[in-house]
Structure 1
Amino acid sequence: MLAFEYIDTQSALDALVAKYQQAELLVLDTEFVRTRTYYARLGLIQAYDGQTLALIDPLAVQDLSRFWALLANPQIIKLVHSCSEDLEVFAHYGHCQPQPLFDSQLAASVCGLGHGLGYAKLVEQLLGISLDKGESRTDWLKRPLSDAQLQYAANDVYYLYQLYPMLKQQAEQQQRLDWVWEEGTRMTAGRLQQPDLEHAYLKVKNAFQLTSHQLAYLKVLAKWRLEKALARDLALGFVVKDHALIGLAKKQPRQLSDLLKMNDLTEQEKRINGRDLIKVMQSADLDNLPEPVDVLALKPGYKAAFKAVKNQLALICEQQNIPTEIFASKRNIHDFMQWHMDGRSKKLPLLLSGWRGELAKAPLLTLDLTL
């Protein structure tokens, strides 16, 4: 059984933060619930500095500001595993991002231990310890939490502390420690920005199918949906689904009776939001139409060019023993090709920047790509 402090009072949290201020390394994890909400609902925060393992109850402690400030302390290394969702939690609840950041999953990946390794798998691989994952589906908002649930949460930071020197040493030996720090900086960049209401329509699936005239309607619809989702803390799809927005933009019903005949919307969407949707569509600015969404993948030479880039990157990954998923993802290739199509004049894509650029810049820029 692991010993831990359960932090459920302000005085206990303040004392904990004072201890952690002296730490060189702080392991972090969060437990949350997300079903229908836009933001994850935070249920527990785990932290460990090698001496004090703490389980912080955010439902009991109202003011976490000193703890959030701790995460921004550049003198303390923050250690996490597969941190994308944790970073969302820190941004929303703490308006902060941990720096400097060391992601153990990322470190294992660039060191050739395997891509996307789960925490339990990595612990078993490096420490030879099998962790019980029986509490992985816990409702972390329910109180009180059982002893088994608390032990499960404590395990998530206790063994991660032990993994750090092993992963750091391997990264140093392979001269890839700078890659891990660089990725930590990249993963936290831009997370404190507010959702972009004006360009929400660009994230609607199949927006490229629409004309400029139709996009004008989609733009106001997507903005309305995002505002509604944020106000009600509701996942976008539980306000109105993407394909319904596309259908509305294409058919442009002028009155409620027209909307009620559409098959694109569910009966619930019609009942709850029908009148609002008609009103929103009437606000579309048809005098200043959006630019058509240019889909690079539809261009005649795209498939051949994509394959050429992918093959070149696969060769680099094989030579360097780097998983293609982290280095040559479809998104990374697409962004490079978009940059190439735009005349190579805009901001360098990820494949040509930092440690990736050191490996891929020369080979990629010599490719003969025709789009």
Structure 2
Amino acid sequence: MKYIDTHIDLASACEHWNTCNRIALDSEFMRVDTFYPKLALIQINDGSETYLVDPVRINRAHRGEPREEVWGPLIEVLSNQNVVKVLHSPSEDFDAFYSNLGVVPSPIIDTQWAAAMASIDGIMGYQKLVKQLLDIDLEKGATRSDWLQRPLTDEQIHYAADDVEHLLEITKRLETQLVTQGRWTWLLEDCERMVEDWLIGQEQGYGIERIKKAWMLKPKQLFTLEKLLAWRERRCRTVNKPRGHILNDSLLVDLAMRLPTSTKQLSSIKGIRQPTVRKDGEQIVDIIQRCKESESSQWPERLPRPFNQVAGEWFKDMRDLVQKKAKELDVPPEMVARKKSLEGMLRKAYPNGPIEIPRSLQGWREEVIATPLVEKLKALVN
């Protein structure tokens, strides 16, 4: 194992990684009370050697220098289209790399998704997958430890190295099985889409569609909620605090419904933190007041209500079809079609069409499940 804590050693290692067909990749980070994850360690395995890259020490030594100058060689590796990055359940790693280095690893292979696609006992964690495929028991003790402390303990170093030492061998075995099943191209397609969808999500931000009770709001209230959401996102990024530390989703809905016009009214709302009222109360009230004075032409349309009984029965028929196909393929139902995809498809189709195949059900899923769903909906519409 090689421990890298200087910019020079990192650049040298990156020259080598850029010549690899695949590297195993993982990260350790802390995100206890911050909006952005604090990158604490980067693990890489090239098939013969494991490397632990120490961002804490490297950043300390180069404080104030442009990120691209310090981390440019690694950014090049992570974006090198000739080097496949193998990760296990990478969404949180995407957050860590993007927030700290400004890059999302690509192209990737997700071994968690690969194992599920290969019909290996559903969606499973890394330790369980290593045990299942390699019969190796991994320790879990350092999972919740303080990864920003220095020096790292021997237990932390051993745990971190384990996280990448088996990924490439696991991938070889999964690739063999998926090629035999005719699903290897399915996996590559899904992994490419994972990166695309993650980036689209970043661009769209924390939208109103993520708020569970937003459908209950009238247009003016919905307009207010949109403005409060945008303000909270900016505020969280500025102070580097989690969304719930400022205002949680349910409080935002409450504010949009009640439209308080003074900090006194604001402070009386159950659940709101008084430090938030003191620091941000005037801004919140000002946003609400401007929304109350806005023209109706600025207001959005109301969001769709939950499905009625008939549409709910249609949705159940769609879910049953997905369950049946998942059973035939021996994969988790969410791998065939996610609930959100079915809901979006049904919202357009009910009650009289049009019936469209959403982007999430295109590709290999079009033949496997989207076409049968279209036929099912056509029968219901007619």
**TM-score range relative to shorter protein:** over 0.9
- Once the two structures are superposed, the pairs formed by residues 1-371 of structure 1 within 5 Å of their partners are 4-62=1-59, 63-192=70-199, 194-196=202-204, 200-284=207-291, 285-287=294-296, 288-295=298-305, 297-341=306-350, 343-344=353-354, 348-351=358-361, 353-367=362-376, 368-369=379-380
**TM-score, normalization by structure 1:** 0.92
One-letter code aligned to 1:55 = L
CA deviation vs aligned residue, 1:3-35 (integer Å, no higher than 9, x gap): x11110011001100111111111000001112
Code of the residue aligned with 1:262 in structure 2: it is I
Structure 1 261/99 Cα, relative in aligned 2: closer, same or farther at 3 Å?
Answer: closer
1:174, CA displacement in angstroms? 0.4
8 Å Cα contact 1:91/1:192 also seen in 2: no
The aligned amino acid for 2:142 is E
Moved more, 221-230 or 86-95: 86-95
* In 1: Cα distance, 2:280 partner to 2:229 partner: 13
In the other structure, the counterpart of 2:64 is: none
Q: Secondary structure at the match of 1:74?
A: coil
Unaligned 5+ runs, structure 2: 60-69
Judge which range, 178-187 or 200-209, deviates more: 200-209
1:302 maps to a residue whose letter is: A
Q: Which moved more, 1:124-133 or 1:251-260?
A: 251-260
Q: Distance in 2 between matches of 1:239 and 1:266?
A: 8
CA distance in structure 1 between the aligned counterparts of 2:356 and 2:175, rounded to whole angstroms: 35
Structure 1, gaps ≥5 residues long: none
Q: Distance in 1 between matches of 2:258 and 2:45?
A: 56
Mapped partners of 1:57, 1:369: distance in 2: 58
**Any conservation in 2 of the 1:305–1:370 contact (CA below 8 Å)?**
no
Confirm or deny: 8 A CA contact 1:5 1:54 kept in the other structure. yes
Is residue 345–residue 357 contact of structure 2 (8 Å, CA) maintained in 1?
A: no
Identical-residue share of aligned pairs (%): 30
Q: CA deviation at 1:255?
A: 2.0
Rate the CA distance shift 1:209–1:39 in 2: closer, same or farther, 3 A: same
2:302 is matched by which residue type in structure 1? P
User: Structure 1: which amino acid aligns with 2:186?
Assistant: W
Greater mean deviation of Cα atoms: 260-269 or 274-283? 260-269
1:210-245 alpha-carbon deviations (Å, 9 max, x no partner): 000111221221111111011111111111111211
Q: 1:204 to 1:310 in 2, by over 3 A?
A: closer
1: CA distance, partners of 2:331 / 2:204: 34
- Please tell me whether the aligned partners of residues 335 and 349 of structure 1 are also in contact (alpha carbons under 8 angstroms): no
Aligned residues: 365
Distance 1:88 1:236 in 2: 15
For the Cα contact (< 8 Å) 2:44–2:51, is it kept in 1? yes
Secondary structure at the counterpart of residue 132 of structure 1: coil
Please report how far the alpha carbon of residue 347 of structure 1 lies from its aligned counterpart in structure 2 after TM superposition.
Answer: 6.6
Superimposed CA distance per residue, residues 93-148 of structure 1 (whole angstroms, 9 cap, x where no aligned partner): 22222222111111100110022211111111111110111111111111110111
TM-score, structure 2 as length reference: 0.90
| 1:265 to partner: Cα distance | 2.2
Q: Provide the rounded CA distance (Å) in 1 between the counterparts of 2:106 and 2:303.
A: 36
Deviates more, 1:150-159 or 1:68-77: 68-77
Cα deviation digits, residues 338-358 of structure 1 (max 9, x gap): 34349447672423x111112
- Cα offset, 1:200, TM superposition: 3.3
1:269–1:204 distance in 2 versus 1, CA, 3 Å: farther
Distance 1:74 1:161 in 2: 18
Aligned-pair distance for 1:327?
Answer: 1.7
Offset, 1:195: 4.8
Residues 213 and 286 in structure 1, CA contact (< 8 A), matched pair in contact too: no
Structure 2: distance between partners of 1:279 and 1:195 = 26
SS at match of 1:140: coil
Q: For 2:103 and 2:127, how far apart are their aligned partners in 1?
A: 27
Q: Larger % of helix: which?
A: 2
Shift of 1:331: 1.9
RMSD (Å) for aligned C-alpha atoms:
2.0
Query: How far did residue 36 of structure 1 move?
Result: 2.0
